[in-house]
Structure 1
Amino acid sequence: MTEPAPASPSAFDQLSRWLGVGTSVIAPVTLLTTLLFYFGYVSSRAEYRYFGLDVDTIGLSTNDFVMRSPQVLLVPLLGVSLTAIALLLVHVRLRRHPPSPATVGRGMSLALVLIAAGLVLVLGHAWFGRWSLYALVTPLLIGVGTAILAYAFWMPSAPAWLRRSHDDRARWVRPGVTALALVVVATSMFWATATLAEWSGRGIALQTARHLDELPAVILDSSERLYLTDGIVEETALPGGAFPFRYRGLRLLIQGETHMFLVPDRWSPSNSTLAVATDGSVRVQFRFENQQP
């Protein structure tokens, strides 16, 4: 008697399998793209705010923000990777040589102090919010304290009331607390990384302002007088034509979707950013670098 041939998978089963695979790939990619966009946006917002611009008025695309994020995330990624290596080595050491219950108790006490200090800063934002390191120290205190506390929960030498017993009716408490602790740690890392991204954007702006002469040089011909008062940009009259006013000493800061944003080629307290429409109402020339090939 021959055995029946195995039934071939239905089209629905195959579709479900492919959807499962696609979801497992697309979801992480979407999350990564969202994070890259966010950190690129935070950095760009801080960078162009220094020059008096709201980044939303420039018209950068999602891809532009994503492409700007690797430079912002370089330091946080290096820091997280090195910290993870150190923590893994510490974990191996502690598993081989568990600390005493007294040491675990002191570690938990330290964790509670760190969390309490972070909560004091959060609740006292009205008083501590102007501290320059507030946005970095606060999430680090909460995140580090929570991580230490969650790790101590699972130590073999943890306090007796935390150890699992066979007749324990609330076995889900410790895993639940650990899951919530991971959420707190992830949120703290996100907050700290966003702060570093903002600082990075500000640093890029300061670096650019110190070397404005390295930006692309622009000669601007306009049909109307611009009345620039910074004392750096030079105005000359052109005989006749549709553009009787020429301006030298300008540099291209960034080009958006509908405007170019120009700045003087030297920093001054009276500097301002000039928004020039790219609709043909002005004539723009980009100068070669003054270096013979």
Structure 2
Amino acid sequence: MSTPQEADERNLRWKRTLEVLSVIGPPLTVATALLVYFGWARTDAQAKAMGLDVSLFGYTVQDFILRSIQSLFQPLAWLVVIGLLWLMLDRAVSRLLAAARYRKVLRRSAIAVAVLGFTYAAAMWVVVATQPERVLLYVPFLIAAGLVVGAWGLSVRRRALASENSSPETGPRALERGLVFVLVTLLLFWGTSDYAQALGRGAALDYQERSNLLPSAVVYSKERLAVTVPNVREDSAGTEAEPLYRYSGLRLLVVSGGRIFLLNDGWTLSQGRVVVLRDDGSVRVEYGNPAAD
């Protein structure tokens, strides 16, 4: 039997655990949703470039999450590196603000930095607005960078004025910072989505240029499949009593959603077609090492 004190301690631990889960839960949900979206955006762009629809592949949430890693790795790595460099610069500026002789120079420099940052962001936005039909890769990231630099310049100017007046920085800044944060977050989301779609289109182009590096596939079927795509050869491998048809000249694209997706040798984005077979045992497929072809 546990004492009332032990029971109270267990209840307190459960309460703290639930509080932690309530705080961690929503961020994990948002992160998972973002991973799924970016994985879907990459796969959708690849499927459209190949003349397909992403729903045909029957990918699961886990599949989309795994496909999003490549889309997020470089943007996140650059974001961390730039964030660290910015923190180092901001700390150096804070040390200079502590010295009275640098405050005036820093205040004037901060004004110039703010004007340049906001002007650059506005110029990049004009470029996007005047060319809505084009996908300008990395431009959303550049707009976000201009906004961050401009907002930081204003912050340094205010800190310099506060140091000169020997008074803490006053004024409601939470709303301003919140709006900048939301806008920068949306721009990063936009830029990462464009980057993921570009990776998808690049993957489709890569299949065209290096389809010979995909695993070779030979399909055996008791019924004629009537595969009419170029460079696919149909041979009879059975007898009249037990017919068996053999199809060669195919390359494995992916097996997903209860289907086998195959490309023909020499597949191209403009003229190639994708052969889709049911992965239900009605056909037998032999896969081979492309290096052995």
After superposition, where does 1:148-187 map in structure 2 within 5 Å? 148-156=149-157, 171-172=171-172, 174-187=173-186
Structure 2 distance, partners of 1:144, 1:290, is: 45
Structure 2 distance, partners of 1:26, 1:250, is: 46
- Conserved 8 A contact 1:221-1:243: no
Q: Deviations over 1:57-108 (max 9, x none)?
A: 2101111111222222222122112212221222122222354332222222
Alignment-derived partner of residue 56 in structure 1:
55
Instruction: Answer with 96-105 or 235-244: which moved more.
Output: 235-244
**Larger helix share, 1 or 2:** 2
Q: Which amino acid is 2:68 matched to?
A: S
Any unmatched runs of 5+ in structure 2? 98-104
Q: Deviations over 1:42-69 (max 9, x none)?
A: 2222223332221222101111111222
Secondary structure at 2:134's aligned position in 1? Answer: coil
Determine which of 115, 131, 134 is the counterpart of 1:131.
134
- Conserved 8 A contact 2:41-2:193: yes
Cα RMSD after superposing both structures? 3.3
- Conserved 8 A contact 2:110-2:154: no
Alignment-derived partner of residue 203 in structure 2:
204
Structure 1 distance, partners of 2:108, 2:157, is: 12
After superposition, where does 1:136-285 map in structure 2 within 5 Å? 136-137=138-139, 139-156=140-157, 171-172=171-172, 174-222=173-221, 223-230=223-230, 232-238=231-237, 239-240=239-240, 244-268=244-268, 269-285=270-286
- Conserved 8 A contact 2:114-2:152: no
Q: Percent identical across equivalent pairs?
A: 27
Determine which of 122, 138, 146 is the counterpart of 1:116.
122
Structure-2-length-normalised TM-score? 0.80
Distance 1:165 1:53, change over 3 A: farther
Q: Which amino acid is 1:67 matched to?
A: L
Structure 2 distance, partners of 1:241, 1:171, is: 90
Aligned-residue offset at 1:270: 2.2
Secondary structure at 1:155's aligned position in 2? Answer: helix
Aligned-residue offset at 1:249: 0.6
Q: Which amino acid is 2:263 matched to?
A: V
1:100 aligns with 2:106: yes
Aligned length, in residue pairs? 279
- Conserved 8 A contact 1:115-1:146: yes
Structure-1-length-normalised TM-score? 0.80
Q: Which amino acid is 2:81 matched to?
A: L
- Conserved 8 A contact 1:164-1:171: no
Structure 1 distance, partners of 2:189, 2:71, is: 13
After superposition, where does 1:16-95 map in structure 2 within 5 Å? 16-95=15-94
Structure 2 distance, partners of 1:198, 1:212, is: 20
